Structure 1
Amino acid sequence: MMNILKEATFGSINSVYSIAIIIIPIMITLQILKDYKVLDKITKPFNFLARIFKTSNETVLPLLVGILFGLSYGAGVIIQSAKEGNLNKRDLTLITIFLVSCHAVFEDTLIFVAVGANGYILLITRLIAAFILTYIFSKKLPAAELQEIRQENLS
């Protein structure tokens, strides 16, 4: 029993360490890029996503990170953006909906291609499904709830 607990504890610590050695440098790099306004230049071409889903432009960076690198790394950026107060509940909900259906597009696509799937069809289908699903949810959020969210952010 003690061996199982010991193995579980060290395994968990090792997993957290593995994630931390990747996430911490990414967060530091993102902060430096943000301070020097490089992120604004990188995300600006993708601001159309914020307009389509009627979210703030601050949703673009966490969305791109989640799409490209996956939920583990995207979550770090999303949490940081939320802590900074850049994202409201509606933005967070819509980012989550999009990333549930379409995250880590390169990694996942390559894994499925390795077992024989058509990568182009898989990638295009995931992107289209994510856009449609998020667009539908962005339209279904009542206007009264939007006002409530905006008032909470002003407080």
Structure 2
Amino acid sequence: MPVVLCVVCTFLYFSALFVNVVALPPSPPCEPVEPPPENRWLLLVRLQSFVGSWDMDAQLANALEIPLHLLETSQPKTWPSPADTAKLQSSVWATAMVISYFEHRLADQKDEWELLVQKAHSWLLAQACSVQPGSTVARQLCDRLLELAKQAIESSVV
């Protein structure tokens, strides 16, 4: 009889464990956690394209902590050149804004993002060269565009 009692007790014990495990309510789904400000650059790393640029979209606006409509309305229509005829693509402006954001709002973390920005600068320069051939003129275009982006980043409007 003791063996039968032991088997019954074991069965009841494990049945109770199974009921407790099954009866537990499911845990709530995990919400994505916003990285702390010191890791904000990681959001921008994830958004950078293979070629070194960024696209103007809601994810970028969120990462820059700037409303998308302000990013879009702050974009110049053309490259900042004397002729002002070459249309400025939104990815060019987005990339200039990100470079300025890194340089002016995340300057204390430069060691972490410096290579990323070098790649972005190279891409931006290539875009400027397609508008104004010649490295000197293209660099001037980039410098002017980055100055406009810096003003937009620093201003209270953006």
Please report the TM-score for the alignment, with normalisation by the length of structure 1.
0.28
Normalising by structure 2, report the TM-score: 0.27
Decide which structure has the larger Cα Rg and report it: 2
Structure of greater relative contact order (alpha carbons < 8 Å, 6+ residues apart): 2
